[in-house]
Chain A
Amino acid sequence: MSELLTFKNVWLEYGEKIVLERVDLGIAERSFVSIVGPSGAGKSSFLRLVLGQEAPTRGLILLDGKRLTPECGPDRGVVFQRYSVFPHLTALRNVMFGRECTSAPFTARLFGAARRAAAEEAEAMLIEVGLGDALHLYPSQLSGGMQQRLAIAQALMARPRVLLLDEPFGALDPGIRQDMHRLTLRLWREHALTVLMVTHDIIEAFGLGTRVLAFDKRRIDPHAPHRFGATAVYDLLLTRKPPPDALHPQGGVLRLTESVIPSTEESL
C-alpha cells in the first residue's frame, strides 16, 4: 500500500499558542485512521490542516506526493458532526450538487440528459446509503442519522482521495450510531476509501479503524501551557478487525502489532 498523505515536521501555531508540533506521519492508501485525544489536543486542527481550511505554520503536507493546497478542494471529502448538508436542497439535489458544480461552471445546474445521468447516479448513491425512500425530502424532514447518511453520500459522489470525518456520529443515538458504523465500514471497503476520522468514542475508534492515532501534548510547561503543542503520541496499527457486528457490546479482540509509544514525558 502506497503512502497517500505525508506529514513532514508539521507545526501549527496561532501567534504565541502552539497547537500542533513535530507531526511526522505517513498515512497509507485505503487505511481507516481513527484520531482520538482529549479536548484541545489538536484533533480538529489536524483535520482542518488536511482539509486545507488552514495551512501549517511550518512543515509540509503532501497528498499523493504533491504539496497540499491550503484551500478545500474536491480531492478531499468531509462530513462534519452537523450542518454539512444544504437545508434548501432535497436529498437528491444535495447529492447532485457536486456534479452540477464540476460540470457547469457558470450556472452550476445541469439540464436534459446530463441532468438525468447525474440524478440517476445520485439516486444510486442514496439507495446505497439507505436513503432510497427519502430522495425528495428536505434535510429538516430527515432524522439526525439520515442527515449524516446524506452527508456521506454527498461526499462520496465527488470521489475524494481522502474522506475526513469530524465526529460524524457524535450527535447520534447509540442504536443509530451502530447502523452508521456498519454503513461506514461497508462503504470504506466497497469504495476503497482512505478515511481519517476524529472521534471521542474510544470503542468507535478501535472498532472502525485500522490505525488509531492518539493526539496529546508530550510536554507541559505549567507556567506557559500554550507553548507546547500536541502531536500523535500513540500510533497503533490494528491488523485483525472484529466482525462489525461484534463491535458494539464490549468491542472485539484487538491485537496491537506495532505500537510506537513514547512515554508521555513528565512536565518540565
Chain B
Amino acid sequence: MRWVNIRPGRRNSVLLGALPLLVVVVAYLFASAARHATNPSDKILPTPAAMVTAMHSLLVDADPLSGRLIFWADTLASLERLGLALGICTLSALLVGMVLGILPAARASFGGLVTTVAVIPPIALLPVLFIVFGLGEAAKVALIVVGVTPFLIRDLADHVAALPQEQLIKAQTLGASSWQLALRVALPQALPRLIAGLRLSLGPAWVYLISAEAIASDIGLGYRIFLVRRYLSMDIIIPYVAWISLLAIAMDVALAQLSHRSFAWAHKAGR
C-alpha cells in the first residue's frame, strides 16, 4: 500500500498525536535526571518535584508584599488584557471589515490604509504606544489591538468581497437594500470566517501580550517569566509556559466549538 493511502482511524489518530508529546516529556525527564545525577543543585532542567514545590508557594501562599496569590493574579491580569484586546479587535474588525468588503467605494478609499498599517511590525510601535498611552494597561491592550486588528480586517474584507457575485445579485432581485444585504447575506457568512481569523490570531496576540508584559508591567504571566529569569528559576518558567500553552489551546478549542455550534452550515462537508 502506498504511504499516502495509509489513514489512521479515529482512536489511532489520538494515540499517534499523543505519542510525540509523551516522547518529549520522557526525554525531558531523562535529561533532567541525568543532569541532576552529576549536579544535584542543577537549575536548568528542574525535576518535576522541584517544579511542584516552586509552584506550590505561588499557587496557594499569598505574597507577603501584595497579599495576592501570585499565580492566579498573574493569570487573571493577563487574561483580562488579552480578553479586552481581542474583544476590541473582533468588534472593530467586524465593523471595518464588513464595510470594506461590501462597499467598493470604501474599499477603494481605505483598503490602502489598512494594508499599510498591517505591514508595520507592531513591536516596533511599542515605544510609541508607551509614550502615547503611558506604561499602564492601555499600552499593553493597544499593542495587541494594533497587531491583530489589521490582519482580521483584511481577512474579513477579502472574504466578504469574495462572496459570489451571484448571491448579491440574487438578493437584490429579491428586493434587498444595501443594509439588508450586509445584515442578512454578508454578516452571517462573515462571522464563521471572523472566528477562524481570531483563532489564527491567538498566537500573535499572546506574543504581543508577553512582550508588552516583559517590558513594562508589575503583574502578568509574561512579567513573571521575565522576572524569575534573573534567578534562573526554570522551575517556575516551565510550568508558566505550559500553563500559557494550555490557556491558548483552551481558547482555540472554545472558539472552534462556538463556530461549530453557531454556524453548523459553514462546517458541513462542502460539495
Contact = CB atoms under 8 A, between A and B. Distances in A.
Interface in B186-245: 188-189
Nearest to A160: B173
B174 A83 contact: no
B53 interface: no
Given A80-B166, A83-B167, A88-B188, A73 B173 contact: yes
Interface stretch (A33-41, A94-102, A192-200): A94-102
A95 to B, nearest CB: 10
A22 B82 CA distance: 64
A77 B175 CA distance: 10
Given A88-B188, A105-B180, A138-B268, A98 B263 contact: no
Contacts of A155: 170, 173-174
Contacts of B179: 105-106, 108
B173 A108 contact: no
Contacts of B188: 88-89
Nearest to B180: A108
A88 B173 contact: no
B265 A108 contact: no
Contacts of A80: 166, 169-170
B183 A74 contact: no
A97 B183 CA distance: 12
Contacts, number: 92
Contacts of B189: 87-88
Interface string A135-148: 00010110000000
A108 B271 CA distance: 29
B174 A141 contact: no
B64 interface: no
A74 B174 contact: yes
Given A83-B166, A100-B184, A154 B174 contact: yes
A233 interface: no
Given A101-B180, A101-B184, A138 B170 contact: no
Given A80-B170, A85-B170, 5 more contacts: A72-B173, A76-B173, A82-B164, A84-B167, A158-B173
17 contacts: A71-B172, A72-B169, A72-B172, A74-B175, A76-B173, A78-B173, A83-B166, A87-B189, A88-B189, A88-B263, A101-B175, A101-B177, A101-B180, A108-B179, A138-B265, A151-B170, A158-B175
